[in-house]
Every structure is written in C-alpha cells, then in structure tokens.
Amino acid sequence: MKETRAGLPTVDAAGPAAAAEPTAAGGTRRWIPGTPVAFAALVVLFAVLRPQSFLSTGNLRNTVEQIAILAVVAAVQTVVMAVGEFDLSVGALVSLTGVVAAHLMLDGTPVAPAILAAVLTGTAVGVVNGVLVAWLRLSAFVATLAVLTALAGTSLLLTDGSTLFGLPAGFVAIGRDRLGGVPVLVIVAAVAAAVVWFLLAHTSAGARWYAVGGNAEAAWYAGIDARWMRLAAFVVSGAGAGVAGVLLTSRLASAHPTAGDGLMLTSIAAVFLGMTASRSGRVTVGGTLLGVAVLGVLDNGLNLLQIDTYVQQVLTGLILIYAVALSRRREARR
C-alpha cells in the first residue's frame, strides 16, 4: 500500500525495504550522524571566526528566541512526516492565524478569546487537510499546496494586504516579557515541543503514527486505521501552526499576511536534518530540534559575519538538498 506521492520526497522510509539481511559485521554499514556533526562544525566555525560575539550569552539568548517559533512549527511538522505525509500549508497557516488573532483584537475582542480563535482556526484547517489527504485520498502535496494557496488569499483579504498594528499591550507582552529571565515565547515553544515529543515518543497514538508512516499496510493488518491517524497528525499540525501564529504576531507586535510563510520550507528542512541524527533514520522531535538548531545557528552566525540574507537563503536550500540526499541514501541502502 505504499503510496508514491508527487512532489517532495516522502518520508515513508519503510518502502519495500529489500530484505535487509544483517551484514557480516552484525549491523548496517558505517553510519555518519550528519546533523550532529554539522551542528558541531558550525558552532566551532562561528566561535573561531567571531569569538566575542557568537558565544556571548546575549547572542545565545537571541538565537534561541529567533528559533523558538520555528521549533513549534517543525515539531508539529515532525508528526505529519512521521505518518508519511507532509504539510505545505503550515507557513501560510501561521500567517493566517496571526492575522485572525490581530483582526479580532483590533475589533475589540479580548486577548484570551482571540488567541483561542487563532488556535481553533489552525485546528479547523488541520481537519480540512486531514480529510483531503486521508478520505479524499489527494496526495499531501496537492492537498496542502491548494490549502496553502487558499489560506494565503484569505490572509490578504482579511488585511487588505497591509500590516495590522496597534495590538493590545497584554498580547504584545507574550513576545517581549520574561519569566525568571527566560522569554515567555521560549517557554511556550518549549512546552509545545515537549507535548509533541511526548505524543510521538510515549503514547499509543505516537506508535500508531510511526506504524502508519513506516508501513501502512502492516499497520492496517494490526488493526490500525491509517485514515484517522493521518487526520490526527494534520490536526496537531494545524493546532501547532495556530500557536506559532500567535507567538509570531506577539513577537512582531503586528500581523502581516505573509509573516509566517517562510516557515513551511524551514520546518520541513529541520525535520529532514533531524532524520540524519539517528541511526534508524526515523523522524523524532529531538532530531528535528537539532535540525532547528542547525538552521538557527547558521542564520545567526551568517548575520554576525554580515553575510547577505540572500546568500543565507541559497545556503538553506543547499543544506536541505544535503539532508534529503543523506536520508535518501540511507533508504537506498536498506
């Protein structure tokens, strides 16, 4: 029942794993933990090139703040990719949910209900994605790309293409305040990532997600209905995008209709980077967060070196190719 999806490579590393006989050495061939090595190399490189600024606490804190929102989106993208799909609509959904919250607050809605509305909007879009992929059997690529487009249009309609300013101070505080020296933003992101990690690693739902992504047919014979698991994964992804939308809008103290769009590609890149962090090639929240760290450090270091952001974009693309090629190679070997 392996479905070949158009577009991005599927994470379904299971495939018809050719009878992987144990090699004489009693294991798979030599394996290089690509992402941890890359991470260490980047840290050393920047520490040598910019010893004062790169390793300062201020810079470290800054980096963590910068990647907190990506961490949330990448964590939920991990769930979708664990189930063998991917969600291209997350970035546009982050933008839209931020716009929804801002719009409501500017219309006089109190902060808490506005936040709730943003998260519910994300969840509802997740349901739509899930139904399109699991029940109408559209490929995740087509379904989430179409949803992305519709979401982007909705954001532009709601804002008239402009940026929404003048958000309540209580809301903006989420992105600015600290709790015991730690930014609230980072705390929320850490909690969200921890919840997703717990779901994947320690619940029966997590085991079912991995099973469907690893071998949907085997899962079916074991009494697991892939449709519900796919739906649930997209719902988690949508809700996570809602949380990220709130965080992003409060951090920027404004809502822009395309503010979160870039998170789509970087979140997928982070998950792919994370796949190379474990021997099995399985997607895990831990691996994904390492991938997020690589992207964050790269971004920060290149900034310190005053390298053009356009160059950074080129580098991100190259790194994505590197990570995907690495995980593919492993698959080919299996």
Partner 1 sequence: MGGTALEVSELEHRYGAQTVLSDVDLTVRMGEIHALLGANGAGKSTLIKILSGVQRPTAGRLSVFGQPVTLRSARDAHAAGIVTVQQDLGLVSGLTVLENLYLGRPLPRRGPLPHRAEARRVAREWLATVGVQLPLDELVGRLSPVRQTVVALARALAGRARVLILDEPTAALTDQESSLLFTLLRRLRERGVAIVYVTHRLHEVFLLADRVTVLRDRRVVATVPPAEVDADDLVTMMAGEPLASSGAAASARGPEILRADGLTGRRVRDVSLTLHAGEVVGVAGLAGSGRSELLRLLAGAQRPRAGRTAVRGRPLQPGSTRRALAAGVALVPEDRLHQALLPQADVTENVVLASLRELSRLGIRSARRDRAAWAAAARQLTIRATGPRQPVTQLSGGNQQKLVLARVLRRAPAVLLLDEPTRGVDIRTKQAIRGLIARTASNAAVLIVSSELDELTAVADRVLILREGRVVAELSAADADEETVLRHCYGGSSR
What residues line the site for partner 1 (CB under 8 A)? 2, 13-17, 19-20, 22, 26-28, 202-208, 210-211, 214-215, 217-225, 280-282, 334
- Residue 84 or 91: the one with the smaller Cβ distance to partner 1 is 84
Nearest C-alpha neighbor of 82 from the set 200, 171, 170: 200
- Quote the DSSP letter at residue 134: I
What is the spatial distance between Cα 320 and Cα 160, in angstroms, rounded to a whole number?
Answer: 34
Q: Given the structure tokens 């047919």, which residue do they identify?
A: 217
If the CB atoms of residues 214 and 296 are measured against partner 1, the closer one turns out to be 214
Token pair 């792919």: residue = 272
Provide, rounded to whole angstroms, the least separation between the CB of residue 221 and partner 1: 5
Report the residue number, 222 or 314, with the smaller CB distance to partner 1.
Answer: 222
Which CB, 29 or 306, lies closer to partner 1?
29
**How distant is the alpha carbon of residue 324 from its chain centre?**
15
Report, in Å, the least distance between residue 334 CB and partner 1.
7
Q: How far apart are CB 328 and partner 1 at their closest, in Å?
A: 14
Q: Pick between residue 28 and residue 62 the one whose CB is nearest to partner 1.
A: 28
**b/e burial code for range 180-203 (CB count within 10 A of at least 16 → b):** eeebbbbbbbbebbebbbebbeee
Closer Cβ to partner 1, 39 or 272, answer by number: 272
Amino acid occupying residue 217: E
For residue 20, give the 3-state DSSP assignment.
coil
Rounded to an integer, what distance in angstroms lies between the CA atom of residue 314 and that of residue 327?
20
The CA distance from 268 to 77, in Å, is 7
Q: Which is nearer to partner 1, 61 or 227 (CB)?
A: 227
CA 266-272-274 angle, to 5 degrees, is: 100
Q: What angle do helix axes 34-49 and 263-275 make, rounded to 10 degrees?
A: 110
HEC letters along 79-118: HHHHCCCCCCCHHHHHHHHHHHHHHHHHCCCCHHHHHHHH
CB of 99 to partner 1, least distance (A): 34
Minimum CB separation from partner 1 for residue 129, in Å?
A: 23
- Give me the least distance between CB of 178 and partner 1, in Å please: 32
Minimum CB separation of residue 1 from partner 1 in Å reads 8
When the beta carbons of 40 and 222 are compared against partner 1, the nearer one is: 222
CB of 24 to partner 1, least distance (A): 12
